[in-house]
């Protein structure tokens, strides 16, 4: 299931997003990268309907996303924010069950099928043993995995993730991106995520989108676009790319 953007614009008081034509392909991992203030999160929120987007701007598998009902949107697309901030200290399994909201009728309780979907989602991210724990008892990395599990329970085909590796140590960063790769390869999820770590983006992504000043500077396969002149132009600094044991290393 792909996402296509056509002539998308969105403005804050002192910032404007301008995206001409952009395609996020099915069952692939696409990383949106660029400096702070480039518009990465704004674009992701427009794709997910978090920010209001006019008709005929964002299409999911050819369907105008702005025209779909809330339940349809939830079944097509899941959004994972950087961090969940709630006044309620939910039990982990109950929190993941919230991802089933689009399948549960108003004033009805979750069914056994809903519970099974939530349990399977927790097992997939490796947190099945934490089902009865409180959210507040988890580490930042574990809470990030719970957010992903909630989106998996939602059973949407498209998964949008905003800076999923923020504040994670190198091991948990690698573990999380390995999970992202697994979701695309085994679950056939179309995944779009924003990242700051260029080395991790080029290692785990099928496609990369470079943003600067609210616009797309370049997009394509990492081997085609991950070049020193582009990085220097986007980030405004001298950058070198070295090959180390088959991996790209960025020297600033």
Q: What is the pLDDT, as a whole number, of residue 87?
A: 55
pLDDT in tens, 33-80: 999 999 999 999 999 999 999 999 999 999 999 999 988 998 899 999
CATH assignment of the domain containing 211 = 3.40.50.300
Pick from 144, 157, 31, 151: which is nearest to 83 by CA? 144
Q: Which residues contact 68 (CB under 8 A, 6 or more apart)?
A: 60, 76
**Sign of the dihedral defined by the CA atoms of residues 159, 144, 141, 33, in that order:** positive
The answer as to whether 115 is a domain residue is: no
Evaluate whether residue 35 is within a structural domain: yes
Domain presence at residue 83? yes
SS3 content of the chain, % helix, strand, coil (to 5): 40, 25, 35
Q: What is the mean pLDDT of the chain?
A: 92
The domain total for the chain is 1
Distance (Å, whole) CA 10 – CA 217: 17
**Element (H or E) spanning 238, and its range?**
none
pLDDT at 86 over 70: no
Q: What does the alpha-carbon distance between residue 240 and residue 227 come to, in Å, rounded to a whole number?
A: 9
Residue 60 and residue 139 in contact, taking contact as beta carbons nearer than 8 Å: no
Q: Within a domain: residue 116?
A: no
Domain ranges, residue 219 = 3-87+157-251
pTM exceeding 0.85: yes
With cut-offs at 50, 70 and 90, classify the pLDDT of residue 84.
low
- Please check whether residue 245 lies inside any domain of the structure: yes
In a domain, 43, yes or no: yes
Query: Does residue 28 form part of some domain?
Result: yes
């Amino acid at each position: 299931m792909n996402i296509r953007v056509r002539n998308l614009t969105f403005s804050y008081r002192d910032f404007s997003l301008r995206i001409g034509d952009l395609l996020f392909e099915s069952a692939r991992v696409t990383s949106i990268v660029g400096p702070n203030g480039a518009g990465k999160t704004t674009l992701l929120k427009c794709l997910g309907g978090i920010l209001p987007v006019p008709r005929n701007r964002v299409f999911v598998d050819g369907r105008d996303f702005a025209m779909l009902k809330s339940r349809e949107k939830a079944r097509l697309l899941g959004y994972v924010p950087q961090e969940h901030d709630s006044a309620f200290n939910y039990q982990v399994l109950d929190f993941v069950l919230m991802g089933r909201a689009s399948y549960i009728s108003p004033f009805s309780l979750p069914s056994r099928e809903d519970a099974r979907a939530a349990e399977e989602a927790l097992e997939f991210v490796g947190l099945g043993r934490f089902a009865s724990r409180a959210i507040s008892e988890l580490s930042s990395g574990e809470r990030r995995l719970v957010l992903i599990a909630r989106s998996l329970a939602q059973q949407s085909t498209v998964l949008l993730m905003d800076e999923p590796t923020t504040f994670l140590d190198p091991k948990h960063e690698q573990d999380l991106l390995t999970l992202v790769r697994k979701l695309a390869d085994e679950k056939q999820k179309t995944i779009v995520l924003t990242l700051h770590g260029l080395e991790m983006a080029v290692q785990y992504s099928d496609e990369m989108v470079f943003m600067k000043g609210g616009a797309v500077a370049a997009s394509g396969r990492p081997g085609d676009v991950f070049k020193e002149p582009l990085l220097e132009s986007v980030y405004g600094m001298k950058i070198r790319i070295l090959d180390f044991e088959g991996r790209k290393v960025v020297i600033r």
